[in-house]
Amino acid sequence: MGREVEVVVIGAGQAGLAAAHSLRRYFEPETGFVVFDHNPRPGGAWQHRWPTLTFKTVNGVYQLPDMPVPTPEESAPVAEVIPEYFAEYERAFDLRVQRPVSVRAVESLPDKRLEVETDRGVWTARALINATGTWERPFWPRYRGQETFRGLQLHTAQYRGPEQFTGRRVAVVGGGISAIQHLMEIRPTAASTHWITRREPQWRDGEFNPDRGREAVAMVEERVRRGLRPRSVISVTGIPLTPEVRAAREAGVLDRLPMFDRIEPDGAVWADGRFIEFDTILWATGFRAALDHLAPLGLRGPRGGIAMDGTRVAADPRVHLVGYGPSASTIGANRAGRAAVREIRELLAT
Ligand SMILES: Cc1cc2nc3c(=O)[nH]c(=O)nc-3n(C[C@H](O)[C@H](O)[C@H](O)COP(=O)(O)OP(=O)(O)OC[C@H]3O[C@@H](n4cnc5c(N)ncnc54)[C@H](O)[C@@H]3O)c2cc1C
């Protein structure tokens, strides 16, 4: 089945829905624009987050345009509340997300249209908004000896809460908020925990300052403008020292070790010869942008990233990436969705 539309949106997380909400003002759903999402139900990546990630422990979820997020109990899991909110949003604005639909490849046609190949047929469009997030591309670094490890290795993407770690000796690798939350949850019932990071963690004291937030976003923006791989916004804002994090530091839960030199069957060895025994490695090492389906467009440059101008791919004005680099937060995704639609309307008018 082949269909022609003006704009295809790939992904119905915060970024895709914000873009669709803007598109809905100018185009008809299904004939003017279409949204594809790989997940079987609304919620984007939130539906896969671990049950112990609640409104108390999450960083802060910013509402989608024109509809407030419900104010649930602090103990409510985001994986339940946000998918319901997204479902309501899709209904209220008649966004008609098509799911489950996987986009396999996007190619450029000789007539300058884009061909979007999915597992449910082929669509063509004049412009594309890519909002595929990062959840589907967990990043597993490789270390010497990793294949010899006899214990359990898992990634944040597979974390389901502390029960999995009861009685285990756990090494948590990674310097971000996920690693800290895992450690704080696991420590009370694990036999032991160790926190291992490449760099010294950057703690952020005091209230979040919007100027520092803007500075951090600008730094990530500058990287992607130069065609470098984006860093997460949190990697430049630092880790907030909440009362819980302070207490965990005082209790020794967040004493950090530098990176090991190699992994052995029952633990790891450091450059100074120290050996620490553990039976579980939890890789809290983040995610990468899920962009494999865009490979046929040849957007990646020699510096490993895609050079961007705002949300627009510098080398191809038909393609916008939202929820990418500086817009990889719920608030950033909203702005990016709006900005992408504004530029696409200008492009289509020429
Ligand atoms: C553990 C964790 C906690 C976070 N906490 C916060 C927080 O508290 N506050 C905050 O602002 N941000 C937070 N973030 C960042 C947050 O994920 C983003 O801000 C935002 O929710 C991501 O939205 P998105 O629309 O870009 O991606 P997603 O929510 O990942 O949505 C992408 C959608 O695209 C679909 N998709 C992917 N590939 C394809 C394909 N080929 N074909 C079709 N569909 C496809 C996916 O199925 C998915 O539904 C967190 C991230 C993580 C990993």
| pLDDT score, position 232 | 73
- Check if 15 has its Cβ closer than 6 Å to any atom of ligand 1: yes
Q: What's the mean pLDDT in 167-194?
A: 97
- Check if 128 has its Cβ closer than 6 Å to any atom of ligand 1: no
- Check if 135 has its Cβ closer than 6 Å to any atom of ligand 1: yes
Instruction: Give the position of tokens 């007539």.
Output: 111
329-349 pLDDT, tens digit per residue, is: 888 999 999 999 999 999 999
User: 201 with 225: CB under 8 angstroms?
Assistant: no
Instruction: Give the position of tokens 């510096």.
Output: 303
From 22, 36, 37, 182, mutation site for ligand 1 pocket: most ligand atoms within 8 A of C-beta: 37
Q: What's the mean pLDDT in 201-210?
A: 77
- Check if 12 has its Cβ closer than 6 Å to any atom of ligand 1: yes
**Cα–Cα distance measured from residue 94 to residue 135, given in angstroms and rounded to the nearest whole number:** 26
Query: Residue 307: which of 201, 237, 224, 244 has the closest Cα?
Result: 224
- Check if 133 has its Cβ closer than 6 Å to any atom of ligand 1: yes
- Check if 193 has its Cβ closer than 6 Å to any atom of ligand 1: no
Q: How far is the CA of 136 from the centre of ligand 1 (A)?
A: 9
Q: How far is the CA of 59 from the centre of ligand 1 (A)?
A: 14
- Check if 39 has its Cβ closer than 6 Å to any atom of ligand 1: yes
Q: What is the 3-state secondary structure (H, E, C) of the chain?
A: CEEECCEEEECCCHHHHHHHHHHCCCCCECCCEEEECCCCCCCHHHHHCCCCCECCCCCCCCCECCECCCCCCCCCEHHHHHHHHHHHHHHHCCCCCECCCCEEEEEECCCCCEEEEECCEEEEECEEEECCCCCCCECCCCCCCHHHCCCEEEEHHHCCCHHHHCCCEEEEECCCHHHHHHHHHHCCCCCEEEEECCCCCCEECCCCCHHHHHHHHHHHHHHHHCCECCCCHHHHHCEECCHHHHHHHHCCCCCEECCCCEEECCEEECCCCCEEECCEEEECCCECCCCHHHHHHCCCCCCECCCEECCEECCEEEEEECCCHHHCCHHHHHHHHHHHHHHHHHHHHC
- Check if 38 has its Cβ closer than 6 Å to any atom of ligand 1: yes
For ligand 1, what atom is nearest to the CA of residue 102? 42
**Cα–Cα distance measured from residue 174 to residue 131, given in angstroms and rounded to the nearest whole number:** 25
**Cα–Cα distance measured from residue 224 to residue 262, given in angstroms and rounded to the nearest whole number:** 32
**Cα–Cα distance measured from residue 94 to residue 144, given in angstroms and rounded to the nearest whole number:** 51
For ligand 1, atom 16: residue with the closest CA: 329
55-96 pLDDT, tens digit per residue, is: 888 878 899 999 999 888 889 999 999 999 999 999 999 999
**1, pLDDT greater than 60:** no
Q: How far is the CA of 43 from the centre of ligand 1 (A)?
A: 9
Q: How far is the CA of 330 from the centre of ligand 1 (A)?
A: 9
User: 20 with 36: CB under 8 angstroms?
Assistant: no
Can you list the domains of the chain with their CATH numbers? 3-136+287-349 (3.50.50.60), 146-202+238-283 (3.50.50.60)
Q: pTM for the full model?
A: 0.94
142-162 burial, b at 16+ Cβ within 10 Å, e below that, comes to ebeebeebebebbbbbebeeb
- Check if 131 has its Cβ closer than 6 Å to any atom of ligand 1: yes
206-260 pLDDT, tens digit per residue, is: 666 677 778 888 888 999 999 998 887 667 778 889 899 999 999 999 999 999 9
- Check if 16 has its Cβ closer than 6 Å to any atom of ligand 1: yes
| pLDDT score, position 2 | 58
**266, pLDDT greater than 80:** yes
Q: How far is the CA of 88 from the centre of ligand 1 (A)?
A: 18
- Check if 85 has its Cβ closer than 6 Å to any atom of ligand 1: no
287-302 pLDDT, tens digit per residue, is: 999 999 999 999 999 9
For ligand 1, atom 38: residue with the closest CA: 132
For ligand 1, what atom is nearest to the CA of residue 322? 26
Q: What's the mean pLDDT in 155-170?
A: 97
| pLDDT score, position 208 | 64
- Check if 197 has its Cβ closer than 6 Å to any atom of ligand 1: no
Q: What's the mean pLDDT in 141-165?
A: 97
User: 23 with 32: CB under 8 angstroms?
Assistant: yes
Q: How far is the CA of 45 from the centre of ligand 1 (A)?
A: 5
- Check if 118 has its Cβ closer than 6 Å to any atom of ligand 1: no
